[in-house]
Amino acid sequence: MVRPVRGPRAEVGFFGLQNHDRNSTVYFREVAVLPTDKSPVPIDNSERGRILSYYHATRKQILDATSGLSTEQWKFKPAPEKWSVAEVVEHLALTEDFIFGYATSFLQHSLPQPADIKITNEQLVKQMTDRSAPAQAPAEVRPTGRWQPGIELVGQFRSHRDRLIDWLIETKEPLKRAWAPWGGTTVSVYDALFMIPAHTERHLQQIREVIANANFPKK
């Protein structure tokens, strides 16, 4: 018998056992499916709760830190080369989708699983939140005054974050079984998505530094 050419078989998805026409009756004594390293297993409830807690907490911290600021306070710059609170929040809103798109692109095109994990989730977060090492923002996420300081700008940050939170609540993607390059090493997509709230926490420190400046407008 000559078998038809079907091309490479998918690693996940539908499979059939002796498929017949609708009028045939086929019985199997026992069928077992064993998971493999490539099986699409979503994150468990504790993992989902942990990342969602970080997203919610940093969202609230930004909203609290910027609540009630006047236009003058939003636009105050400690120095010509420093960012204002408005510029920081604009950068945060833009970076939400930037990191999310990068990380989740590896769900379909994962790197091979590393032989050993060179950096932990906690170490990744610590690196991101450490402001002692200055970083240059990519051109795509640099602030340019896209939105008016205040309600419009806060609304943009909130809508970007809320979309990601909704996605994390619903996703069935195997976030811990897909791998992405990050900072010279390989991390799970789950860990890469932690970099969004960690990045928020990093710039929350910057907002507080601006507000604590001696020349920050009283109102």
Of the listed ranges 38-42, 49-53, 95-99, 213-217, the one predicted with least confidence: 38-42
Q: Is residue 193 part of a domain?
A: yes
67 in a domain, yes or no?
A: yes
**Three-state secondary-structure class, residue 106:** helix
Global pTM?
0.80
Torsion angle of C-alpha atoms 166, 170, 173, 175, degrees rounded to 10: 50
How far apart (Å, rounded) are the C-alpha atoms in residues 121 and 24?
52
In a domain, 34, yes or no: no
| 210-219 confidence digits (pLDDT tens) | 999 999 999 8
The confidence band for 32, taking pLDDT boundaries of 50, 70 and 90, is low
Digit-coded pLDDT (tens) for 178-206? 999 998 899 999 999 999 999 999 999 99
> What is the number of domains present in the chain?
1
Domain membership flag for residue 176: yes
CATH number for position 170? 1.20.120.450
Task: Answer with the residue of higher pLDDT: 24 or 43.
Answer: 43
Q: Among 1-10, 52-61, 91-100, 208-217, which is the least confidently predicted range? A: 1-10
Q: Would you tell me the crossing angle of helices 151-170 and 85-104 to the nearest 10 degrees?
A: 20
171 or 134, greater pLDDT: 171
| Residue-averaged pLDDT of the chain | 88
Domain limits for position 78: 45-212
Query: Are the beta carbons of 101 and 192 closer than 8 angstroms?
Result: no
For range 87-108, the mean pLDDT: 96
